[in-house]
Amino acid sequence: MSDNDYNVYQGKDGQWRGKRQDASRASVVADTQKEAFEATREYAKTQGSEVSIHRGDNGQIRAKHSYGNDPKTTKG
């Protein structure tokens, strides 16, 4: 992950947050994971970065979405 990548996670207060990897504060605070992801996705699209969505119960990454930083050629 680069410093421009984002994480969507649930805070201790139950609110969902979207935060850039190197930031000290969240860019997005929302009531639901979906709302936080959708708002964070817009930031990631403008930066050409990646969003990792974390589970609320244990914090593990459950999905990753990439916007613009994919390799041009892939095998398979």
For residue 75, being part of any structural domain is answered with no
For residue 11, being part of any structural domain is answered with yes
Is the Cβ–Cβ distance between 8 and 16 less than 8 Å?
Answer: yes
Tell me how far CA of residue 4 lies from CA of 29, 32, 56, in angstroms.
18, 23, 22
This prediction's pTM: 0.86
For residue 76, being part of any structural domain is answered with no
Residue-wise pLDDT tens digits, 47-74: 999 999 999 999 999 999 999 766 666 6
CA angle 60, 66, 72 (to 5 degrees): 135
For residue 68, being part of any structural domain is answered with no
For residue 14, being part of any structural domain is answered with yes
Residue-wise pLDDT tens digits, 1-37: 567 899 999 999 999 999 999 999 999 999 999 999 9
What residues make up the domain containing 31?
A: 6-63
- Nearest Cα to Cα of residue 29 among 10, 47, 43, 45: 10
Q: In what order do the strands lie in the sheet with 6-10?
A: 28-30, 16-20, 6-10, 50-54, 61-66
